[in-house]
Amino acid sequence: MTVELIVIHEHPEWQKPLFAALEKRGVRFGTFDLKKASFDVDLVPGARLYFNQASPSAYLRGSTRAVPLALALMRSLELAGARVLNGSRAFSLELSKSAQGSLLKRLGIDHPASLAFNEVEAVRNAWTRWPALLKPEQGGSGARMFLLNSFDELARTVATTPDIWLPDNLMLLQEYFPTDPARGIVRMEFLGGELLYAMRVVSHGAFNLCPSELCNPADSSDALCEIPAATSQKPVEFYPYPEVPREAVEQGRRIVAAGGLDVAGIEYLESSDGRRVFYDINANSNLRAPIGQAFGFDPFERVVDYLVRELARPL
């Protein structure tokens, strides 16, 4: 059977709701699993449309090589004339927190001060904003993030955490903003340039805010995630947020358009001094069915609606 759509991914469990919705709609689709794969540059493309669902956090699941293969595949597809949703441009932006900061700066949208570095000593005289968040340049599910209070604490953390430079040997110090823990942060999901839904995420101090119900279940079941929560930590909570400000939505639209994102999760926080600070741009969106249902729809059905419209577009 000739397929119309190929979904590029490395986490089949995350994709099950999308696959089920595509099957229900009768869309002829195939999958490209990045974990152990190859492609012939002379034989791509093989489908009318590709949908990139690769995740920067693949290296946390033993799939370190999935991300470079995803980029190589998408670049070859695009050079061959294929249409790739959330293609190499969007995915490259997701892989680089420093590039995200630069984009937000260009757009005039409030964002954290950030310093990228590849050697601890290079930070000593270049950064004075303590406390600060230490993050990998290529993020993923909150892994290898630390709240630090001084340069000495940074040096100790790096010295005692051998794998901290994974996966790309580049780290970021980012400005820390005190927030109301009861309000959490806001994540807006965009589809085809428009807001799908917004939700508040209350983390109780966790850095892993992955919306996937596998990672942060809506019920009391155990999380199936590579980033385990502390045993004393409360589960991350997700709440529908229909009152999301229009200005925040418009800022999200501008980010999505400027970043070339077809599907995106955009996160911002509300600081104690009243600032709305955008700090994370995600091209891979693990949609949360209970949040969509609170707004009266199945979010995966909405994604299929979008994919069907894209398939109907002239080549």
Under 8 Å between Cβ of 204 and 236: yes
What pLDDT, on the 0 to 100 scale, is given for residue 231? Answer: 44
- The two structure tokens encoding residue 250: 């418009």
Residue 214 lies in a domain: yes
Supply the range of the domain harboring residue 68: 5-86
| Confidence bin at 19 (pLDDT 50/70/90) | very high
- Is 131 in the same domain as 231? no
Per the listing, tokens 């729809």 go with: 297
| pLDDT at residue 217 greater than cutoff 80 | no
Written as six digits, the tokens of 206 are: 């966790």
Q: Beta strand pairing status for 5-9 and 29-33?
A: parallel
CA distances (Å), 63 to each of 15, 107, 176, in order? 16, 34, 30
pLDDT at 104 over 70: yes
Tokens in use for 121? 């000593």
- For 140, other C-beta atoms within 10 Å of its C-beta total 25
Strand ranges inside the chain, DSSP E:
5-9, 29-33, 49-52, 83-85, 114-117, 132-136, 146-148, 171-175, 185-191, 194-202, 237-240, 263-270, 276-282
DSSP classification of residue 61: G
Task: Write the pLDDT tens digit of every residue in 254-313.
Answer: 999 999 999 999 999 999 999 999 999 999 888 999 999 999 999 999 999 999 999 999
Q: Nearest CA to 291 among 212, 204, 197?
A: 197
**What is the Cα–Cα distance from 190 to 43, expressed in whole angstroms?**
32
Q: Which of 175, 196, 213 is the last residue of a domain?
A: 175
**What pLDDT score does 16 carry?**
94
pLDDT in tens, 52-98: 999 998 888 888 899 999 999 999 999 999 999 999 999 999 999 99
Residues 78 and 206 both lie in one domain: no
Instruction: Determine the pLDDT at residue 224.
Output: 53
Average pLDDT over residues 97-108: 98
Domain boundary among 156, 175, 194: 175
- The answer on 37 and 82 residing in a single domain is yes
Among candidate residues 229, 146, 239, the one with its CA nearest the CA of residue 186: 239
Q: What is the mean pLDDT of the chain?
A: 91
| Residue 287 located in a structural domain | yes
Same domain for 165 and 142: yes
Same domain, 141 and 230: no
pLDDT given for residue 236 in this prediction = 87
Domain-terminating residue out of 125, 144, 175: 175
Residue 232 above 60 pLDDT?
no
Here the CATH number for the domain that contains residue 48 is 3.40.50.20
Residue in 307, 290, 264, 281 with CA at minimum distance from that of residue 18: 307
Give me the DSSP letters along 151-214: HHHHHHHHHH-TTTTTTTT-EEEEE---B-TTT-EEEEEEETTEEEEEEEEE-TT-S-----TT
pLDDT band (50, 70, 90) for residue 1: low
CATH number of 294's domain: 3.30.470.20
Q: Are residues 104 and 127 in the same domain?
A: no
Would residue 264 count as lying in a domain? yes
Sheet-wide strand order for 146-148: 114-117, 171-175, 132-136, 146-148
Q: Decide if 230 contacts 218 (C-beta within 8 A).
A: no
At residue 222, does pLDDT exceed 90? no
pLDDT band of 135, cuts 50, 70, 90 = very high
Domains in the chain: how many in total?
Answer: 3
In a domain, 314, yes or no: no
Residue 154 sits in a domain of what CATH number? 3.30.1490
* pTM of this structure: 0.92
Question: Phi and psi dihedrals of 287, rounded to 5?
Answer: -70, 150
Phi/psi at 44 (5° precision): -95, 145
Does a structural domain hold residue 56? yes
Of 1 and 281, the one with more pLDDT: 281
- If you average pLDDT over residues 18-27, what whole number do you get? 97
